[in-house]
Structure 1
Amino acid sequence: MSAVPIPGEPWAAASAGVTVQRGTRANQLALAAGILLLLVAATLPLWGESSWMREFVEIACYFVFAMMWNLLAGYGGMVSIGQQAFFGLGGYAMLALGNFAGMNPFVAVPLGALAAALVALPVSWVAFRLQGGYFAIGTWVIAEVFRLGIANIPAVGGGSGTTLTALRGIGKSTRESVTYWMALACVVACIAGVYLFLRSKQGLALQAIRDNEVAAESQGIAVRRMKLAVYAVAALGAGLAGALYFVGNLRISPDAAFSVNWTAFAIFMVVIGGIGRIEGPIVGALIFWALNKFFSDWGTWYLMGLGLLAIVVTLFFKKGLWGYAQERWGWSLFPTQRRLVG
């Protein structure tokens, strides 16, 4: 727990005994449990089955992508349905560096994410000219432009896609272990990065922009620069998830990489778990993975079930499952708010 005196009259703060609380004992216990779980998870390749590692990589990709969408929309107020553009770009950049530049694909994963972030800078010039629903549809159109463009490049297999051949010289067990460790590192970095950012002044500025851009700008916040930074970071995370996913999948195609289903699934996870909360994508990703693993064979009924679950949650748990638990029992694993306590 960290507490600092409230700015103002020193005698008033001292006499009232009021402090600003930014953490709780439950938060400290959760941190200790998380570190212990991380240490156990890091040893999984030494004793676990390969199928477990593949499942974790899949969950990690879902989670990182959903967390970035939550940062963009839940905290920044920029509702995009075209984040799959950067997911696909990250995957294809990784493949190009591996297959054509002779680079180790695992080294190419972060470089693919960086390439997606760099592409987001000129793309933002077009996207930020749109507002509200037009912004959402515009980002989808941009993603479709990338999909059609990649589908017309024969060097990467065109519309049918291609295989990541750069991993042929690496053994299966080594490949699966390294992919798993990279996925684990990405999850930890994503949670820690978003948490520290939201606790900073820049995080407060972003949430102020989400609530009212005009009021935020009147208080001296550089609105456009902050939105551009968050848009680029969200693209970086989406590109990282895409590069990591296709390193594990070994094959990529435009329809798989740039499918709108990626953003639809991210929205589902964030809404189910709780939008505007770090814990939301974690809960949502676990629920979505479980539903996908055990019920995806049901075909149309599975998709109808996802839709029904989303409707029920939005009607009866308007802040998501974790938001409901937080309001009812005060649960908060990653507190970013500041509370006045006496």
Structure 2
Amino acid sequence: MAAILVVVAATLPFWAESSWMREFVEIASYFIFAMMWNLLAGYGGMVSIGQQAFLGLGGYGMLALGNFAGMNPFLAVPLGGLAAALIALPVSWVAFRLQGGYFAIGTWVIAEVFRLSIANVPAVGGGSGTTLTALRGFERGTRESLTYWIALASVVACVAGVYLFLRSKQGLALMAIRDNEVAAESQGIAVRRMKLAVYTVAAFGAGLAGALYFVGNLRISPDAAFSVNWTAFAIFMVVIGGIGRIEGPIVGALIFWALNKFFSDWGTWYLLGLGLLAIVVTLFFKQGLWGYAQQRWGWSLFPTQRRLVTSRAAAKSPAPPAAAAPASHPASAAPSSGSPVRSH
């Protein structure tokens, strides 16, 4: 069924309006970013409010490869994600020295450092940003179709990759680290190595989302690329859909797209409505909307839970009799301290 939907979606550029493709690229970028945040925080327990740093780095990496290195911008999209992942390695050395709330605040500070640094680079337009001139040789229809197909492939790869990872032993180890880091380490799990791997993968996904978004937008600026709104909207989507579930960002992204499409013109009231909806879901649907549906009706598109299955023969076999304690001689048996002595 999923394969049929993907095939049908792949034919969309041949019969749909161009506005549909542009909207899909935008929501795909938000979804991939939210999925990576869910992997980092929902499954890894690392709550970051600075993941926009890697989104911006991915966008600017794609821009540099396209405008200055002469690379095809569409081929530069995954390389933008790779650039963000490589930068995440030294950044993690600083971020992992912080714990809890300090980690969250520290990641935001790191994102601001990158934003201010890029804003002072004249080659990429400084604070006002610049245009992706490498796409001038592409016709509009070709450009939009290629961007759409890359977005579709990125979404499928993101969902499949996260699902397969969570079904593996490494995914189980990651959730053990989230639940109790000390206990996980005592069981032989390489906690720091696993956290570094997930942090790097999440940075790659964020960079991929940024490169994808700005190759479709044709223009990039530090304020747009490193805006904290990216992380705020990702948290909204994950919380609404259900944190710690693959379906959560999917449901949250669809709800966010619908609200943004029909109510974004309301300005401040739109943002207040998003906040109010998040509060209501947090209070009454603590596991998110999909989590509530899963708990109530058993819905699950991507089951990652594991069940302990015992054989029927083992379940029916009687327990071995307990060894009888040796009888004590009445004369030598003394009552234990605090035990009642019965009189005959």
Q: Distance in 1 between matches of 2:81 and 2:271?
A: 30
Partner-residue secondary structure (3-state), 1:339: coil
Cα deviation, 1:97-151, whole Å, max 9, x if unaligned, reads 0000111000110111000000000000000000000000000000000000000
Partner-residue secondary structure (3-state), 1:340: coil
Equivalent residue, structure 2, for 1:220: 188
Q: Distance in 2 between matches of 1:330 and 1:340?
A: 18
Q: Distance in 1 between matches of 2:76 and 2:157?
A: 17
Equivalent residue, structure 1, for 2:288: 320
Q: Distance in 1 between matches of 2:306 and 2:270?
A: 41
Larger Rg belongs to: 2
Cα deviation, 1:225-270, whole Å, max 9, x if unaligned, reads 0000000000000000000000000000000000000000000000
Q: Distance in 1 between matches of 2:75 and 2:306?
A: 39
Residue 291 (structure 1) shift: 0.4
Q: Distance in 1 between matches of 2:137 and 2:3?
A: 34
- The CA RMSD over aligned residues, in Å, is 0.5
Q: Distance in 1 between matches of 2:190 and 2:272?
A: 43
Q: Distance in 2 between matches of 1:84 and 1:235?
A: 9
Moved over 2 A (4+): none
Equivalent residue, structure 2, for 1:126: 94
Cα deviation, 1:66-97, whole Å, max 9, x if unaligned, reads 00000000000000000000000000000000
Q: Distance in 2 between matches of 1:323 and 1:84?
A: 26
Q: Does 1:290 align with 2:258?
A: yes
Q: Distance in 2 between matches of 1:149 and 1:155?
A: 12
Cα deviation, 1:267-318, whole Å, max 9, x if unaligned, reads 0000000000000000000000110111000001101100000000000000
Residue 340 (structure 1) shift: 3.7
Q: Distance in 1 between matches of 2:78 and 2:7?
A: 23
Gaps of 5+ in 1: 1-33
Partner-residue secondary structure (3-state), 1:41: helix
Q: Does 1:110 align with 2:78?
A: yes
Q: Distance in 2 between matches of 1:207 and 1:135?
A: 19
Q: Distance in 1 between matches of 2:176 and 2:308?
A: 19
Q: Distance in 1 between matches of 2:307 and 2:182?
A: 26
Pairing partner for 2:162 from 189, 194, 199 = 194
Q: Distance in 2 between matches of 1:113 and 1:338?
A: 32
Q: Distance in 2 between matches of 1:94 and 1:39?
A: 28
Q: Distance in 1 between matches of 2:181 and 2:193?
A: 12
Q: Distance in 1 between matches of 2:3 and 2:64?
A: 36
Q: Distance in 2 between matches of 1:308 and 1:39?
A: 37
Q: Distance in 1 between matches of 2:73 and 2:7?
A: 26
1:18-97 superposed matches below 5 A: 34-97=2-65
Q: Distance in 2 between matches of 1:109 and 1:330?
A: 38
Q: Distance in 2 between matches of 1:220 and 1:338?
A: 20
Residue 339 (structure 1) shift: 2.0
Q: Distance in 2 between matches of 1:318 and 1:155?
A: 47
Given the two structures, how large is their TM-score scaled by the length of structure 1?
0.90
Cα deviation, 1:173-205, whole Å, max 9, x if unaligned, reads 000000000000000000000000000000000
Equivalent residue, structure 2, for 1:171: 139
Equivalent residue, structure 2, for 1:25: none
Q: Distance in 1 between matches of 2:136 and 2:268?
A: 37
Residue 36 (structure 1) shift: 1.3
Partner-residue secondary structure (3-state), 2:308: strand
Residue 35 (structure 1) shift: 1.4
Gaps of 5+ in 2: 310-344
Q: Distance in 1 between matches of 2:142 and 2:283?
A: 46
Q: Aligned residue pairs: how many?
A: 308
Q: Distance in 1 between matches of 2:79 and 2:223?
A: 22
Q: Distance in 1 between matches of 2:152 and 2:51?
A: 22
Q: Distance in 2 between matches of 1:39 and 1:312?
A: 37
Q: What percent of counterpart residues are identical? A: 90
